[in-house]
Amino acid sequence: MDVVSRMTSKGQVTVPKAVRDALKLQEGDRIVFRVVGERAELARTADLLELAGAVPVSAPPAEPGTGWDEVRRQLRNNRARRAR
């Protein structure tokens, strides 16, 4: 989809309705601009709460105050046991 918009003297651009609809953008959404060569890509940033549960976490139970080195060692050991 190619849609044209004009930049104001203050550098502001209105995102055309067709683009807002395609990206499911709503008021207050954050967007990211990524420059790729001579082009710019626009994307809606993910809401971190929407990503909750997307990655399984299998952290070992650790006592409060356990150092990170110990937590990582326990995690590696648990992963190694599951792989066997």
**1 and 40 assigned to the same domain:** yes
The residues pairing with 40 across neighbouring beta strands, listed in sequence order, are: 35
pLDDT of 39 reads 92
Residue pair 5/13 in contact (Cβ under 8 Å)? The answer is yes
Number of domains in the chain: 2
Q: Are residues 62 and 82 in the same domain?
A: yes
Say whether both 38 and 5 belong to one domain.
Answer: yes
Does position 57 have pLDDT exceeding 70, yes or no?
Answer: no
Q: Are residues 65 and 39 in the same domain?
A: no
**Which of 50 and 35 is assigned the larger pLDDT?**
35
How distant, in Å, are the alpha carbons of 26, 38, 64, 83 from that of 80? 45, 46, 24, 5
- Asked whether residue 50 is assigned to any structural domain, the reply reads no
Total-model pTM: 0.52
The rounded mean pLDDT for the chain is 85
What secondary structure does DSSP assign to 13-45, as a single string? BPPPHHHHHHHT--TT--EEEEEETTEEEEEEP
**CATH label of the domain that carries residue 18:** 2.10.260.10
- pLDDT score of 59 more than 70: no
Determine the structural domain holding residue 28 and report its residue range: 1-44
Residues 39 and 3 both lie in one domain: yes
